[in-house]
Structure 1
Amino acid sequence: MCRLTIITTAGRPDEQSLKLAELASQELNAKIIPRQKRSVRKLAEIYDANVIVAGKNRYEYYAKGAEAPFFFHPNSAAFRLKRVDRGEEEPLLTACALQKGDTFLDCTLGIGSDSLLAAYAVGNSGEIIGLEADQNVAFIVKTGMQTYDTSELPLTSYMRNIKVIHANALEFLKKQEDNSFDVVYMDPMFTEVIEESTNFEALRFAGNHIPLTDEWVIEAKRVAKRRVVLKAHFKSDWFERYHFQRDVRLTAKFHYGVYIK
């Protein structure tokens, strides 16, 4: 059973906050609850609900019981793209071998950093679709990608090119034709904690974490035209179990695995 989600505003809402609250209410079919000087934790307890706070310029998502909110910010992707611009290797792009005009399906969008790098690689002629199983996370990331403005203009344009869909990856894959996407990418949430960012921890708490299954891998291989790429903890046996060629990086806590058709 899905937990109720409610929408509220910052303590002293302005006109923009009220507009954002109304938008979230319509998109998520969720009730707006006036803040009335109550804390987010108090509202979550009263309504036994997840809480989305419409602030002055962004949404913050507090899954019930979470200490810190989840929100959209392209920090990680910006840092990684700067390294690419300097000519440094980006393991994800190496594993995916994306070309301009390619189609890329991200089965586990999360905060969207990997899809942002893929959008850079495929350019304006390519297509990026990101799937997110949790409706609230999908809404936060979709809205953020369409409205976040950064001084790094190329990054802004890459974000705008990503189509975010609230969907279970396996159910979505089952509806696709054979060889529908050049690259299919899967990054199931690790049981081991790697990311130290507060926002990644918030996502770990808020997200809908679906374990990798035989059926999911079979469908991904069917839908991919060229390759399937899997990201997993370096201790994972998924690579060997599902016949992915592992890119071993001795100092990395996670590896990429590639299945080439």
Structure 2
Amino acid sequence: MTTSRKPGEEVRTEAQGLADKIGAPLLPRESFSLAKMFEMSGSGEAIIVGPGGARWQDAGGKEFFFHPNMAAVRVKELSRGGTDALVEAAGIQSGDRVLDCTLGLGSDAIVAAHVVGETGKVTGLESQPVIAALVAHGLTTYRSDSPRLKRAMRRVRVHCADYREVLSSCPDDAYDIVFFDPMFRYTVSRSSGVQALKTLANPAPLGPSSVAEAKRVARRRVILKERKMSGEFERLGFRVVKEASNHAFGVLDCGR
């Protein structure tokens, strides 16, 4: 963990807070290049905090940082009375309790938080500490000109936890919707952020026991986002209800 060169007091404080949260040492940047920082620390990766936010970077140049990405467009579309594939597939409503088991960049959680509103609840689980810390930090600090987007981001509650452990500890019907978006085995996006996310993310596939737990925990519906031809919907017993350009949504109705 380090900062940009010549950091102000606000950046230093922000960096120290993130370092404490992750449990990583905060190394003074001084005038060193990032390559020199890697050499001196003996590490091949770092989190750098600067005036524009925080990012993870490795010695090969891959970067990961929070950005609302398509969530901004999707929230804008919904606010104009438009539709959203996830919202339609999941049947998310105002006041719902939503559990996103695989938070990643947080785009779907932001959209869900916009729909559930002030009376609802969106919890995002992320098992990888770096992703969880940077996304949680970004959700609370990202500057946006859209009050709707900002309110939605601030409503998402992030927990660094493995969904398998969380689901097994939840009571029946703890949430209305439980959502899974595991890392696709094959990504088509050439975005550097998506590729870095794949490097950092937990590659473990979703298992039948987790699906069974999710069905117990969800009062109305369990959702899976995957590639239609991946075979995962059939393997795990989901019914495909919505298709997008490069993925689809499958559901399990809980009927409670």
* TM-score when normalising by structure 2: 0.92
Contact 2:121/2:155 (8 A) holds in 1:
yes
Q: Which amino acid aligns with 1:124?
A: E
* Contact 2:85–2:242, Cα closer than 8 Å, also in 1: no
Partner of 1:136: 130
Q: Is the 8 A contact 1:234 1:252 kept in 2?
A: no
Whole-angstrom distance in 2 between the partners of 1:248 and 1:121: 18
Q: How far does the alpha carbon of each residue in 1:97-140 deviate from its partner, in whole angstroms, 9 at most, with x for none?
A: 01111100000001100001101111110000000111111111
Tell me the secondary structure at the aligned position of residue 72 of structure 2: helix
- Aligned AA for 2:48? V
1:1-261 to 2 correspondences below 5 Å? 7-45=1-39, 46-62=41-57, 64-247=58-241, 249=243, 252-261=245-254
Structure 1 residue runs without a partner (length 5+)? 1-6
Contact 2:70 2:107 in 1 (8 A): yes
What's the secondary structure of 1:99's corresponding residue?
Answer: coil
Change (3 A) 1:179 1:135: same
Q: 1:194 to 1:80 in 2, by over 3 A?
A: farther
Say how many residue pairs are matched: 253
Contact 1:186 1:231 in 2 (8 A): yes
| 8 Å Cα contact 1:17/1:57 also seen in 2 | no
- C-alpha contact 2:89 2:242 (8 A) present in aligned 1: no
State the one-letter code of the partner of 2:2.
T
Cα shift at 1:70: 0.9
1:248 shift after superposition: 5.1
When structure 1 is superposed on structure 2, of 215-224 and 166-175 the one drifting more is: 215-224
TM-score by length of 1: 0.91
Letter in 2 for 1:35: R
The secondary structure found in structure 2 opposite 1:115 is helix
What is the aligned-residue identity percentage? Answer: 36
Structure 2 gap segments, 5+ residues each: none
For 1:205 and 1:44, the matched residues in 2 are separated by 18
SS at match of 1:101: coil
